[in-house]
Structure 1
C-alpha cells in the first residue's frame, strides 16, 4: 500500500505521514528533505541557484543516509530547498530514488508536493493536507523560536507566501492537488485531531478498495 501525502509548507503533512507510517508499519520518506539536502549543499558550496549543471550534480550525489533532519530545518535551508525544487534537472535526478522508495515491497508512506501527481500517481491513498497561510506561518514561527532563531511572524508569513507562489507556479511538477486526493484542511485542528482525521481517511479508502 502506497500512501501519498501532499501539501504546502508547514501544513503538518510530515507529522501526519510519520504517524500513518507508524500506525501501518510502513517505511516513511519525507521527500522535502531531499530538496533541503540539495539546497543545503548548494549553500555550503556557494553554488548559485542559476547554475543548473552544478545543482543537478549535487542532487545526483545526494546521500539519503547522511541527511540530518534537524539541521535541514533551519530557515535559510527551506528557502534554498524551494528554489532548487523548481529546477527540472534537480527533480529528474531525484525522481528514481523517490519512485523506488514508493514501490518497495509492502508499500510506503511519502510526503511532499508531487507524490500523488508525479512520484506515485498509482497510490492507493492520497491526502492533500492544507491550512491557511497564517495558520501555517504561526506553526513555523513557533518552531523557529524554539530553535532560537531570530525571526518575526511577518517574516515567516512572507516566506510561506513566497514559497507557496513558487511551488504552485513552477513549470516542473507544481504543487497541485491530485484529482483523487482527499483534502484535509487542518487550520482549526491540533496535531492529534489532524492525525485522527488522516487515519480515518486511510481506513475509509482501504475499506472502499
Structure 2
C-alpha cells in the first residue's frame, strides 16, 4: 500500500511538473478573416485556460488611428512618418478577466467574455479604434511592410509580458501559482508571428455570418453609448455612418481580398492549423472546443466532451 501510494504521489508530482512546463511555454495562435470571431473567442479561451491574451489586430487599429489623427490618408506615401509615430508610441492591452456572465447577445450567448481595454500612449482608445473610418483604412495600413515590422516588435513584447501572467494549478501540496501561456489572435500569428505555436487555429465563417456579427457589435456599442448618455437616446436608428449588413458584407469581402493578396504576411492557413468553420456553431462550442484542443496538447484532461 505504501509503495503504491508513493508511486501515485511521484506520478502526480511528475504530472504537475509537466503542467508547469507546458503551461509556461504554451502559445495559442488564432488566425482568420475579419469578423470571424477571433477576438471574443480568444479572450474567452484565455479566461477558460487562465492564459494571457493579446489582441493583435488592435495594434494595427492603433496604427490606423495614428494615421488618421496625423492626416496620413495615403499610407504608401506617408509610411515613413507613420512608422516613426508607431515607434514613438506605446500600446498596452489591459485584459480584465471576470467571473460574472454578461447578458446574452447574438455573438456570445451567455458565456463570459473578459473586457479588454486598449491604451494608446496611455489613452483609452478601445471604442475609437472600432469606428467605421478605422475599419475602412486598417487594411491599407496593415499591408505596408514597414508598418508590419514596427508592429511585430510590439506584438512579441506584449506576448512575452503576457506569458509571465501567473495561473493557478492544483498540486499535491495545494494550489500553486505558475506562469501562464498566451492566446494571440490576428491574421498572420501562426504563419509569421509565432510559427512554432503549440496550437494554431484558423477560425472562419461565411461573409454574411461575419457581417451580421459585426453589425451586432456596432449596435451593442450604440446601445451602451445611449445608456451612458441620455442625449443619444432620442432616436432608435443607428447613426448614418453605421453601414447596413449588406454594406458590411461587401466591406468584409474587400478586406478578405486585400488581406489574402497583400505582399507582406498575407492571410494564410498554416499547414499545421486546425480549421474551424463557426458559421453554424454556438460561441460556447467554438470556445470550449479550442480550450479542449489545448488541454489535449498539454496533457491535461478535457472538460467539455459533452458538446
Task: Give the TM interval when normalised to the shorter protein.
Answer: over 0.9
Decide which of 129, 134, 139 is 2:203's aligned counterpart: 129
Which structure is higher in helix share?
1
Structure 1 stretches of 5 or more lacking a match? none
Whole-Å Cα distance in 2 between the matches of residues 70 and 47 of structure 1? 21
Aligned match for 1:202, one of 267, 275, 294: 294
| Secondary structure of 2:299 counterpart | helix
What TM-score comes out, normalization by structure 1 length?
0.93
| Matched-pair contact (CA < 8 Å) for 1:7–1:113 | yes
C-alpha deviation, 1:183, in angstroms? 0.7
1:120 and 2:194 correspond: yes
How big is the shift at 1:115? 0.6
Is this contact kept in 2: 1:144–1:151, CA < 8 A?
no
Structure 2 unaligned residues grouped into runs of 5+: 1-25, 93-118, 165-178, 223-237, 301-307
Once residues 87 and 211 of structure 2 are traced to their aligned partners in structure 1, the CA distance between those partners, rounded to angstroms, is 32
Equivalent in the alignment of 1:18: 43
Q: Distance in 2 between matches of 1:130 and 1:61?
A: 35
Native 8 Å contact 1:102 1:120 kept in 2? no
Question: Which deviations, in whole Å up to 9, do the C-alpha atoms of 1:89-112 show, x marking residues without a partner?
Answer: 000111122123334444311110
Out of 140, 143, 147, the position equivalent to 1:83 is: 140
Question: How many residues are paired up?
Answer: 208
Q: Judge which range, 66-75 or 163-172, deviates more.
A: 66-75
With a CA cutoff of 8 Å and minimum separation of 6, indicate the structure with the bigger relative contact order: 1
Alpha carbon RMSD of aligned pairs, Å?
1.6
Looking at structure 2, the residues matched to 151 and 101 of structure 1 have their Cα atoms a distance apart, in angstroms, of 33
TM-score normalised by structure 2 residue count: 0.64
Q: Is the 8 A contact 1:37 1:81 kept in 2?
A: no
1:63 aligns with 2:90: yes
